[in-house]
Amino acid sequence: MVDILHRVGVVTPSPEKVYDALTTVDGLSAWWTEDTRGGGEVGGVLEFRFPPVGGFDMEVVEVEPAERVVWRVVDGPEEWIGTTIDWRLRQDGDYTIVLFAHAGWSEPVEFMHHCSTKWGSYLLSLKSFVETGSGAPAPRDVQISDWH
C-alpha cells in the first residue's frame, strides 16, 4: 500500500475556515471542483464531478470539527475505490497546518504520480481560497499535463 502525502500552511487565525472548506458544498466547490454535491456530515456521500472525465463519490467516515476529516472513496476510477482521503488540521501561530494523505493505493501506478501532483495543486487552490476568497477549482484548475 502506498500513500500520497502533502502539507500546506494556510494563513488564517483558526482552522474554522479550512474546516468549512472541507465539509460544505460551497467550500468544496470553491477550491476542488465547481460540480460538487451531497452532504459533508458523517455517513453522507460527497459527489465530485470533473466534466467530461468523470469524478469521485466519497463517503464521509469521520469528522472532528476543526481537526480532522476522513473520506472513503466509494465510486470513481478503479485505482481510487477503497482508498481514503485523510485531512488533519492544527493551528501553528498564524497558520492552519493541513496534513493530507490519500492512502491505500495498491500500486504506485503512473496515475498515482499524476494524482499526487494534482492534489498538491488543489491544496494550493484551497490555501488561496481561504486566504483570498479565490481558488482555482475545476474547470478553472491549473493544467499540469496531457491528463489535465
Site residues for a second copy per CB under 8 A:
2-9, 92-95, 97, 99-101, 108, 110, 112-114, 116-117, 119-121, 123-124, 127, 142, 144-147
Q: Quote the CA–CA distance of 68 and 99 in Å, as a whole number.
A: 9
SS3 75: strand
Least CB distance from residue 148 to a second copy, whole Å?
9
Task: Determine contact, residues 63/85, Cβ cutoff 8 Å.
Answer: no
Least CB distance from residue 38 to a second copy, whole Å?
27
- 64 vs 131, beta carbon nearer a second copy: 131
- 40 vs 112, beta carbon nearer a second copy: 112
Nearest Cα neighbor of 113 from 76, 71, 79, 88 is 79
- 45 vs 114, beta carbon nearer a second copy: 114
Please name the helix (run of DSSP H) or strand (run of DSSP E) that holds residue 110, with its range, or none.
helix 110-132
Q: Quote the CA–CA distance of 53 and 74 in Å, as a whole number.
A: 17
- 64 vs 94, beta carbon nearer a second copy: 94
Task: Determine contact, residues 9/61, Cβ cutoff 8 Å.
Answer: no
Least CB distance from residue 39 to a second copy, whole Å?
28
